[in-house]
Structure 1
Amino acid sequence: MASKVIQAFYNDDDVLMHAVKRVRAAKHHIEEVYTPFPVHGLDKAMGLAPTRIAITSFLYGCVGLTVAILMMNYIMIEDWPQDIGGKPSFSYIENMPAFVPIMFEMTVFFAAHLMVITFYMRSKLWPFKEAENPDVRTTDDHFLMEIELHGNEQELYDLLVDTGAVEINSIEK
């Protein structure tokens, strides 16, 4: 079943923020807001849940640290222990200060790379994916708010005109 959305264009981010707050106060569901640059506080004004990417980053860092510790223990202590500079490798604990830079780098490596992969998967950004931008003006100087229509179209249209929309379109999706 096709749904109908109203697209309201704005040419100022402050006007957009005010409009988002008024539309949400009027109990309309905002599908998406397209902006040419990040607008501070827009996610909170839209009522979006906070991101959990920081939690996943911490967990990925813990995985990287674990891999680094297990890798260095196996390579430098168990598999092929070497006497480097008169310092024998009898145990991991004795040699841990020398391994700190490797542990740090592996933690950062795992956290960064796995976070990027998680972000792309969560955002459904695949290589060679077509852009889903509804209007090219939103990459230059306009802001677009898409609102799903669930009732009186004229009431929503009047609200959007009152909030300062420079153009309003009705689209079947």
Structure 2
Amino acid sequence: MSSTKFILGLFEDPDEMMDGITALQQNSVPIYDVYTPMPIHGIEAKLGIKDSRLGYAAFMFGCLGGTVIFSIIYFAMVHDWPMNIGGKPAFAVPDFIPITFEWTVLYTALGTTATFFFATHLFPGRTPRVMDYRATNDRFVIAIDVKKNNTPHEDITNLLKEAGAVEVKHNDRKYVSYE
């Protein structure tokens, strides 16, 4: 049994890479992931990637932040230390709105950032998961998981080369490390 874990097709042009994705999909070859040095519009739809749920998390963190600070202000200004300031009532909601808005934005920003780092495993100090270093510079990479694939390696290699791959690599490691 082969030690190859991934077959990587490296392309110089994003249009050729998109043709490679089409060729692989037409031959029922499952694609593990695609790595590009820049955003390519329409690639998510082509790969069948669902929309991110990060917006829902941001909304929930915003609600949490607004509720927390509103509760703190209400407790401090109405129950714990009510003050008569110019004859205004202690529970004057318009006075609470600016700080409630600011805390809502703060909680949303920090919570969404933390959720993004948790979901993508991009914690500070963690070694990045990179299939090929050139994917961060000038190459477009299609990664195909060999273990979840019934197509012979030679057929996949030929499909990638016919689509315009400048290089096809058989990787025996899951990710390249920086050591």
TM-score by length of 1: 0.89
Q: 1:3 Cα shift? A: 5.2
Indicate conservation of the 8 Å contact 2:4/2:170, yes or no: no
2:152 is the counterpart of 1:152: yes
2:119 is the counterpart of 1:115: no
**Aligned match for 1:97, one of 73, 94, 98:** 94
Q: 1:18 Cα shift? A: 2.5
Indicate conservation of the 8 Å contact 2:6/2:145, yes or no: yes
2:34 is the counterpart of 1:33: yes
Paired amino acid for 2:104: T
Indicate conservation of the 8 Å contact 1:3/1:148, yes or no: no
1:162 corresponds to: 162
Indicate conservation of the 8 Å contact 1:36/1:142, yes or no: yes
CA distance in 1, matches of 2:110, 2:51: 22
CA distance in 1, matches of 2:118, 2:35: 20
Residue by residue, what CA displacement relative to the aligned partner does 1:132-162 show, whole Å, maximum 9, x if unpaired? 2122211111111111232311211111111
Identical residues among aligned pairs (%): 33
Q: 1:69 Cα shift? A: 1.5
Q: In proportion to residue count, which structure has more helix? A: 1
Paired amino acid for 1:163: A
Which residues of structure 2 form unaligned runs of 5+? 174-179
2:137 is the counterpart of 1:140: yes
Indicate conservation of the 8 Å contact 1:35/1:144, yes or no: yes
Q: 1:52 Cα shift? A: 0.7
Paired amino acid for 2:105: V
CA distance in 2, matches of 1:42, 1:134: 18
Following superposition, which runs of at least 4 residues in structure 1 exceed 3 angstroms of deviation? Answer: none
Q: How many residues align?
A: 169
TM-score by length of 2: 0.86
CA RMSD of aligned residues (A): 1.8
CA distance in 2, matches of 1:75, 1:12: 61
CA distance in 1, matches of 2:136, 2:156: 25
Aligned to 1:6, the other structure's residue is in SS state strand
CA distance in 1, matches of 2:17, 2:140: 7
Q: 1:14 Cα shift? A: 2.2
Residue by residue, what CA displacement relative to the aligned partner does 1:21-48 show, whole Å, maximum 9, x if unpaired? 3222321111121111222222221112
Aligned to 2:32, the other structure's residue is in SS state strand
1:60 corresponds to: 61
* 1-10 or 22-31, which deviates more: 1-10
